[in-house]
Structure 1
Amino acid sequence: MTPTSGVDRAWTDPACPVARTVDLVGDRWSLLIVRDAMDGPGSFTEFRQRLGIARNILADRLRRLVDDGILTTSATPSGKRHVYELTDAGRDLFTTIVALRQWGERHAFAAGERHSTLVDRAGEVIAELRPHSVSGVPVTAETTDVRRVD
């Protein structure tokens, strides 16, 4: 089920894509689960061990992410446990995770403080994300406006 499938929901701001996204994945644990799921399918136990999250909170966040169409579950070949993996919508959050990571690298660490860095499979650091118009012109908060679509 996806949030666009007609389910009644109390959106923070029904017309704002940012608010809807935050309603879906905006809490700490949901984003960290999505981040970890980008490494490949994971079981409940694997997420719990990697994140150090309480069982009840993890169960709730996994259920919500599945209900909202961000994760899907499947049984392992043994059928004894389930694994969670990203749907297309979940994989589409990659740019969001990269943007949060890059913001954190710039603003959440003291100068010289150690932190992880995202690299491609060849070992090259990922280029800094910066939005551009469809014609390729760089844009900022000062050079853009929000238009309501009815």
Structure 2
Amino acid sequence: MAKAKALRGLVLTMGYACLAIGLFHVLLGNASIPGAGSAGATIDSLGRFFGAIFAGYGLAWLLAARQSPIPATAVRWLAGVFLLGAFGRLLSLAVDGWPHWFQVVLTAVELVLPPLIFWLADSEEKAVRRQS
């Protein structure tokens, strides 16, 4: 049961955090990116677009959290997308070098959380099966 509660808390946290971060990028554009400065209208437009997509990603996490039990397949897919983002950051590091320190912290979070989520993904489904 503790794993199921941890999963629910983590899925809700992912949902609200991604929604907030996405909306932050939509509203602030380039100003939301540490070290970006004035990157121009094209990058601002791209950032706001991806911010909207990230807000939608957060809503997908929240949709998963509203289900009972939380569907393991959906959680694994969402965590996989998050991990893919970390791989994108690692590719950027390899190609273009070290980004702003805050981006490095985000990369670490994006590498650490998915394995934890994969491990917890079916905990609510298992808890429901045990109760029946």
TM-score normalised by L of structure 1: 0.28
Identify, as 1 or 2, the structure richer in helix.
Answer: 2
